[in-house]
A and B are shown apart, each in its own frame.
Chain A
Amino acid sequence: MQKEQEVQGKLQKVHDPELDQPLPELGFIDRTIIDENDVEIVFRLPTYWCSPNFAYIMAEDIRLYVSELDWVESIKVRLIDHSASEEINEGVTRGRKFSNSFNGQSDGELEGLRRKFQIKAFYARQDRLVRHLLNNDLLDEKQVIALTVDQLKCLNLSWEGASLREKYLVKKQELMHPEANVYAITDHEGKKISIEELPGYMFGIKSTRLSMEFNGHYCRGLLEARYHLSGKN
């Protein structure tokens, strides 16, 4: 029971890169099988065709986070019902590079793609946080762009606001060199936004957030239809 909970805790850290949501919340974890110190994670996706590249990232991350548990001796990750199940399961279980698992069909590794989607997730989280701050009159626009990371951490926020802040700062730290990480609301390289730029900037990051959320609704609906889960429809 204890081990099960620990594994679940680690799975909460694994996000679908395109949707920026944890796998268990998306319903992507089919089951976990724990036999002494051997762990097997079985996961599933909304379609047979979902990008193998993103599936590979998820499978790698499952392996990475679950292996942080010091009692775990072996991990098997198994993606089911997918056009590339075999290549992904074999590759990730053996710790292979993506390009070696898809010989001749890929044109590079996944690092660039990971970074691209970290940036998208960063902007989507930033949009939610900034909207929360502005819409609840916690700060005005001038204060938002002048805010430092330390000041943001000290703001007295509601439970919802604090959770948006935490999620945002995690992503910001992943992306930025500490020296660039002075101001709270910046672009993905740590550059400050000017008051003149802010309205256009906000429209830009909003469309990133909307796109990710729209996609999330799509994927949840498809997963529900595919596995006959009780959905909204």
Chain B
Amino acid sequence: MYRLPSGEEIFVIDAHIALWDASKENQRNVHGEQFINCFYDYHTSLSPKEYWWPKDDFLKYSKERLVKDVFIKGHADMAFFQPVFLNEFYKNGFGNLEANAQLAKEYPNRFICNGTFDPRHGSRGLEVLEAMKEKYDLQGVKLYTADWYGDSKGYKLSDPWAVRYLEKCEELGIKNIHIHKGPTITPLNRDAFDVADVDDVATTFQGLNFIVEHLGLPRLEDFCWIATQEKNVYGGLSVVMPFIHARPRYFAEIMGELLFWLDEDRILFGSDYAIWEPGWLIEKFAEFELPEDIAKETGAVFDDKVKKKILAENAARLYGIDIKSQKEKIKNDKIDRQLNMSKV
């Protein structure tokens, strides 16, 4: 729970976190090393200096640290895992569904564990997806369309096999499709940031929700255009959030654009932990006000009602979470007791 400057206590969902292992032992090749180096540059270039992690901690961190950073220091009440494997770079994968699930078991009602798929795995992958749904009761998947697989350096959601996987999601009731559209790895001559493939599938699959993580940056304008057309397209704020510290004016400009082109019901907060810690992001977000000129030009309203939607209600709606009963469920659980102890 986080107390807004107005005094109101609000429920918070961090819709984009990860538990990764990029340790030297797990790196498969130079790409694995360069991938985490790049993450670390994101981390230091946009976090306030007092929140910089030592590089070694950043390579691999414990689940205890995650719980502390996200829930105890981080103000979140729930968090969603958005895993990515990168098997071409890491021996046991960058993320790991089993490790996520174990943590969720240890802390009931605190996590949503999403799965993932890669359409280039063909029919075998469809079976894996089914088994994954069965085992982890998936409600969503995180897709990384720029992931490497064999000779392929990425895919599109509109590729025939990707469409078959989305049909499978619809059939299995996996409703939330999070797509990483943003800074990416080695796209070739087609514009791999292009969000047009989201447009295609959002039209075809009206029963699915498409959450474009990182707002399709650096193609914000294309994302806004698509989201205006397709009502089942959402924007995830991870990667955009830290600008609230580094470039607050730009953060305000982007919020103004989002509220103008989309609406307040289709924007989701995410920290992208461990690249950035949710604690300072939420504190700054709760205090943030739109400068008058931006509010005037876009007609955007950024009040507590909107902040509550972005920080929890929108994500809760997509995942069928009733915030009121969720509050009851987590009352006096392990994390809540720790929080109460630290207040004494």
Q: Measuring CB to CB, which residues of chain A are less than 8 angstroms from any residue of chain B?
A: 18, 46-49, 51-53, 83-84, 98-99, 102, 104-110, 113, 116, 203-204, 206-208, 210-215, 217-218, 221-222, 224-226, 231-233
Contacts and interface: CB of A to CB of B under 8 A. Distances in A.
Interface in B23-72: 31, 34-35, 37-38, 40-42, 44-46, 48-49
B41 A51 contact: no
Nearest to B191: A113
B217 A211 contact: yes
Nearest to B192: A51
A34 B219 CA distance: 38
Interface size class of B (residues with CB under 8 A): 35 or more
Contacts of A233: 44-46, 48-49, 246
Contacts of A53: 187-191
A99 B217 CA distance: 26
Given A105-B153, A108-B190, A214 B217 contact: yes
A207 B189 CA distance: 24
A203 B261 CA distance: 9
A18 B219 CA distance: 10
Given A83-B31, A214-B254, A233-B44, A208 B221 contact: yes
Interface in B108-165: 151, 153
Q: Which 8 A-B pairs give the minimum distances between C-beta atoms?
A: A221-B45, A215-B218, A225-B45, A207-B221, A225-B41, A211-B220, A48-B34, A49-B185
A210 B220 contact: yes
Nearest to A204: B221
Contact of A51 (B186, B217, B224, B246): B186
B257 interface: yes
A200 to B, nearest CB: 11
B90 to A, nearest CB: 15
A18 B218 CA distance: 8
A108 B31 CA distance: 25
B186 A211 contact: no
B219 A211 contact: yes
Nearest to A232: B246
Interface of B: 31, 34-35, 37-38, 40-42, 44-46, 48-49, 151, 153, 183-192, 217-221, 224, 243, 246-247, 250, 253-254, 257, 260-261
17 contacts: A18-B218, A48-B38, A49-B35, A49-B186, A53-B191, A107-B190, A113-B191, A206-B257, A207-B261, A210-B220, A211-B218, A211-B220, A214-B220, A217-B246, A218-B218, A221-B45, A225-B44
Nearest to A231: B45
Q: At the interface, is chain A mostly helix, strand, loop or mixed?
A: helix
Contact of A99 (B34, B38, B189, B261): B189
A101 B253 CA distance: 40
Contacts of B183: 47, 49, 218
B254 A47 contact: no
B224 A116 contact: no
Nearest to B250: A214
A99 to B, nearest CB: 7
B188 A52 contact: yes
Contacts of B191: 53, 113, 116
Given A105-B151, A225-B44, A231-B45, A52 B186 contact: yes
Given A18-B218, A217-B250, A210 B257 contact: yes
Contacts of B189: 52-53, 98-99, 102, 106-110, 113
Given A51-B192, A210-B257, A221 B218 contact: no
Nearest to A209: B221
Contacts of A210: 220-221, 250, 253-254, 257
Nearest to B298: A203
A102 B34 CA distance: 21
A48 B37 contact: yes
Nearest to B44: A225
Contacts of A84: 186
Contacts of B41: 46-47, 222, 225-226
